[in-house]
Amino acid sequence: MIEAFLQYVFLQRAVYSAVLASIVCGIIGTIIIEKKLVMMSGGIAHTSFGGIGMGFFLKIEPIIGALIFSVLTAIGITTVRRRTNTNSDTLIGIFWAMGMALGILFIAFTPGYPPDISSYLFGDILTVTELDLKIMIALTGLVIFVIVALFNYWKAYLFDEEFSSVIGIKTIFLEYFLFVLIALAIVALIRVVGIILVIALLTIPPAIAKLFTFDLKKMILYAIFLGIVFSFLGLWISYQFNIASGASIILLAGLTYIAAVIIKRS
């Protein structure tokens, strides 16, 4: 594996993207767990499929299309929910279905042979391109900067939103900002584990971390570390046995969570 890493550029990109994805999922995933936004994240992830289809149709990078759709969906769900008091689950279901439907239509209308979308749905870390890596670096840097710069505000917002609003923290702005960050995290993870599995990598490492600590900083650091371990081991398993990398990473993470729960309760 080490020799292959030194020899093949695609493996180097895979390893770099795994580290970047783990950082993003550790940070944003911890916030998702604390704010109970798992289904919201899943809705944004599946809506991004519409952007991928649009990318193929317009002959632009599909990840750029996914980024546009994800951010617009995050803002759209938040705005509609606040102005209409519609249940979040209802909005998530609507946006989820519309995004998938638009993706299918865009791909159907794309001239020529139908594009291969399996790597976007189920992930293939070995197919990460240089452009994908640059996008992930930019998104990861932005996420780190925003969370570190506003860490105390995020901490207050996560644990007592009502009190935070009373003392003057702009919680509405933080809510919009958080959903945009979730959208960015999802886009950063799509090429690693795919739309179908992205929610697992966002939630499993932080969920394991929460079994052993309630300190927010420690949870984030533990989740990042676990994400890197799962990604590297999953990548090694997929390389050795020629199986899907995204599925390998998620199954490994899921089994580890089950083991951690058993150990914690014993």
Q: At 256, which CATH number?
A: 1.10.3470.10
Say how far apart CA 104 and CA 178 lie, in whole Å. 28
d(CA 196, CA 234): 17
Quote the tokens at residue 38.
């798992």
**pLDDT tier at 4, thresholds 50, 70, 90:** low
Structural domain for 149, as ranges: 2-265
| Total number of domains constituting the chain | 1
Taking Cα atoms as reference points, which of 138, 115, 5, 136 lies closest to residue 60? 115
Say how many residues make up the chain.
Answer: 266
- Apex 42 CA angle, 39 and 48, nearest 5: 145
Query: Around 85, how many Cα atoms within 13 Å sit in the side-chain half-sphere?
Result: 0
Distance CA 32, CA 209 (A): 13
Residue 94 has pLDDT above 90, yes or no: no
pLDDT tens track for 158-199: 887 787 888 888 888 888 888 888 888 888 788 777 887 788
